């Protein structure tokens, strides 16, 4: 399916300021004026933004608890030939915010989805962190329950690239404590209240930052450096080495490829040894 971005009848994903209300693009403002109807996470929050720019628009609430229902409503407006906008309270919709179900459904029904560039919290946090900007993994929020949170961190601890988390202030100390225990004392940057009056950045190791953030408030982004420790796998058999990767959920051939790269040996040699050791293991 191919749809032109120039079609007037479509769903427009509009990014809104994450703090300072002037952090909005001219194109977003003109599109807000042009759309026939606007679906928003909280109508009160969006109404304040529209009021600042003297924009009047019909607003319909679309949040994580009613998104399944609202996707049908969005589609009905598109079928009527209307130009529809979608916003969340702050930043870019779908990035740790509602909107994914609506967008997927509209694409399935062959209407264009046009996402305008705009504010999102992790970009300024990453570029101000002093930590390698690419490659990076945007992870967002970890699970609420401590046990599940720790399991998530265990799956991430070996990743060699920068990882970006979002966190709530009442959970940040517990989250960083778990991060320290599982990742070790890595370099991090913690950014709070980006683009707001009390915007603050904390630089250092997990341990040093933990000592600075007592009773911290506001919305938080954590940038964590990747795992750059070189591991010695010489004590492992090829079978054991491949199984390390299989436990991460990747398929057998991809695991063999990774082992070959880490051991600086051809894939065919690793494959042969792996199959032989696997056969012996089952005797």
The verdict on 129 and 212 lying in the same domain is yes
Q: Which position has the token pair 């683009």?
A: 195
How many structural domains compose the chain?
A: 3
Q: Which pLDDT does position 220 carry in this prediction?
A: 98
The verdict on 111 and 28 lying in the same domain is yes
pLDDT tens readout for residues 84-123: 999 999 999 999 999 999 999 999 999 999 999 999 999 9
Number of H helices, E strands in the chain: 11, 10
Average the pLDDT over 12-23 and give the result: 96
Do β-strands 220-224 and 162-167 pair in parallel, antiparallel, or remain unpaired?
antiparallel
CB 162 within 8 A of CB 186: no
Its pTM surpasses 0.85: no
CATH of the domain at 190: 3.30.950.10
Q: Which of 88, 115, 142 is the last residue of a domain?
A: 115
Contact 85, 37 (CB under 8 A): yes
pLDDT at 271 over 90: no
Residues 105 and 140 in one domain: no
pLDDT band at 235 (very low <50, low <70, confident <90, very high): confident
78, 9 Cβ separation under 8 angstroms: yes
Confidence tier at 263 by pLDDT (50, 70, 90): confident
Note whether residue 162 is domain-resident: yes
The answer to the question of residue 54 being in a domain is yes
Query: Domain holding 59: CATH number?
Result: 3.40.1010.10
Q: What is the pLDDT of residues 236-253, one digit of tens each?
A: 788 788 888 887 778 888
Is 229 domain-assigned? no
Segments forming the whole domain that contains residue 253: 238-281
Give the model confidence (pLDDT) of 174-217 as tens digits.
999 999 999 999 999 999 999 999 999 999 999 999 999 999 99
Of the candidates 235, 147, 183, which has an alpha carbon nearest to the alpha carbon of residue 165? 183
Is residue 1 included in any domain, yes or no? no
Across all residues in the chain, what is the average pLDDT? Answer: 92
């Amino acid at each position: 399916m191919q749809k032109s971005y120039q079609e007037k009848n479509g769903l427009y994903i509009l990014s809104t300021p994450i703090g300072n209300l002037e952090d909005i693009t001219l194109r977003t403002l003109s599109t807000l004026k042009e759309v026939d109807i606007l679906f928003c996470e909280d109508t009160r929050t969006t109404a304040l933004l529209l009021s600042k720019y003297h924009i009047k628009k019909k607003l319909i609430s679309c949040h994580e608890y009613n998104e399944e229902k609202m996707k049908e409503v969005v589609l009905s407006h598109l079928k009527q030939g209307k130009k529809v906008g979608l916003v969340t309270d702050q930043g870019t919709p779908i990035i740790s915010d509602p909107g994914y179900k609506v967008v997927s459904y509209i694409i399935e029904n062959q209407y264009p989805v046009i996402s305008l560039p705009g504010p999102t919290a992790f970009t300024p946090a990453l570029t101000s962190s002093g930590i390698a900007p690419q490659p990076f993994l945007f992870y967002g929020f970890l699970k609420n329950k401590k046990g599940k949170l720790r399991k998530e961190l265990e799956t991430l601890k070996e990743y060699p690239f920068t990882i970006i988390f979002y966190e709530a202030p009442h959970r940040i100390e517990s989250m960083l404590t778990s991060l320290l225990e599982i990742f070790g004392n890595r370099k991090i940057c913690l950014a709070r209240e980006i683009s707001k009056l009390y915007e603050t950045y904390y630089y250092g190791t997990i341990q040093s930052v933990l000592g600075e953030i007592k009773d911290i408030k506001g919305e938080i982004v954590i940038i964590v450096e990747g795992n750059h420790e070189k591991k010695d796998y010489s004590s492992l058999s090829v079978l054991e080495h491949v199984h390390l990767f299989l436990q991460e959920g990747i398929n057998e051939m991809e695991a063999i490829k990774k082992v070959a790269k880490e051991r600086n040996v051809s894939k065919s040699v690793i494959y042969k040894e792996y199959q032989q050791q696997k056969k012996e293991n089952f005797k």
